[in-house]
Amino acid sequence: MGSYKVSLVHPATRVLYATVRLQRLDANGGDAGSGTAFFFGDFDSPGRPTFLVTNKHVLETATATRALFHTGEMLDKRSFSPDSEEWLEWPTTALWRHHPDPDVDLAVVRVEELKQYAGGGLDRLFHTLIWSVWCPTPEAESQFPAMLTTAMIGYPAGLWDRHNNLPILRRGTTASHPAIDYDGRAEVMVDIAAVPGSSGSPVLVIRDDKAEIFLGVLYAGPTDIAEGQIVFSYIPTLGSTPVVQTELGVHLGLAIKSRVLLEFIRSL
């Protein structure tokens, strides 16, 4: 673990601590790939509950999930310096709650339940949140331009700053109008390469030094198969061993709109 101090004033820095690299484990406890999960807080619900969010397909075929969490204290109300890290492993059949619609690729776990499962190991858990107040209403979306500059935080191709336990930030644009449900589903297309390991990444708009728009959760992308046919499929989790694939990425991704996540969480 690296030793450093950073200011959390700017939202682009704060969101560095809003994700974790979710490692999938097979029945023998071996590495079965990875995806992305992020912390989400419901600002307007009693107690302001917090959740760890990912895609259902990140959990499929894995018997357990494992993540490395930051622990430490805020030095003041504007900066953070990590002092330790904590691994936690839990069965995929425990704690995770799946969206009831089989076509909605979302799964969540309450952070409080993770802490209880850790038996004190996460008492000093440190993370930042993507807040429900960042979820735009349809009325707000209607005022957006068709093209917005977006940021995506996660672990593309399984890459991360392992020494400091930090994700990779990427930038792109919306590729469909945020107010219009892409292809009739509550989704938005983004011009960001949806490579393995990016599943579950939050897609945000960070502008004017304020992270004010949470567009959605990346889950799928189009690929051009060898015959030249364009197909949409889940973004695969990163395998434990790199392999050559015949599909060609089209540098686009699909994100489930944030309002779908908010509705799901409030239904629990």
| Beta bridge mates, 210 | 207
Q: Region 59-66: what's the mean pLDDT?
A: 94
Same domain, 228 and 242: yes
| Structure-token match 């015959």, residue found | 227
* 61 contacts 31 by C-beta, under 8 angstroms: no
Residue 247 has a pLDDT of 45
Same domain, 155 and 87: no
Q: Is residue 1 part of a domain?
A: no
Whole-model pTM: value is 0.89
Across all residues in the chain, what is the average pLDDT?
Answer: 87
Res 184 pLDDT > 80: yes
Same domain, 141 and 256: yes
Residue 237 has a pLDDT of 59
Percentage of the chain lying above the pLDDT 70 cut: 87
Residues 103-129 have pLDDT tens digits of: 999 999 999 999 999 999 999 999 999
Q: Is residue 32 part of a domain?
A: yes
Of 54-63, 142-151, 167-176, 203-212, least confident by mean pLDDT is 203-212
- Boundary (domain end) residue, out of 88, 111, 130: 130
Quote the number of domains for the chain: 2
> In CATH, what number is assigned to the domain containing residue 80?
2.40.10
Domain that holds residue 152: 135-266
- In which element (H, E) is residue 173 found? strand 168-174
- Concatenating the DSSP letter of every residue in 35-102 gives EEEEEEE-TTSTT--EEEEE-HHHHTT-SEEEEEEEE--BSSSSEE---EEEEEEEETTSS-EE-SST
Residue 233 has a pLDDT of 53
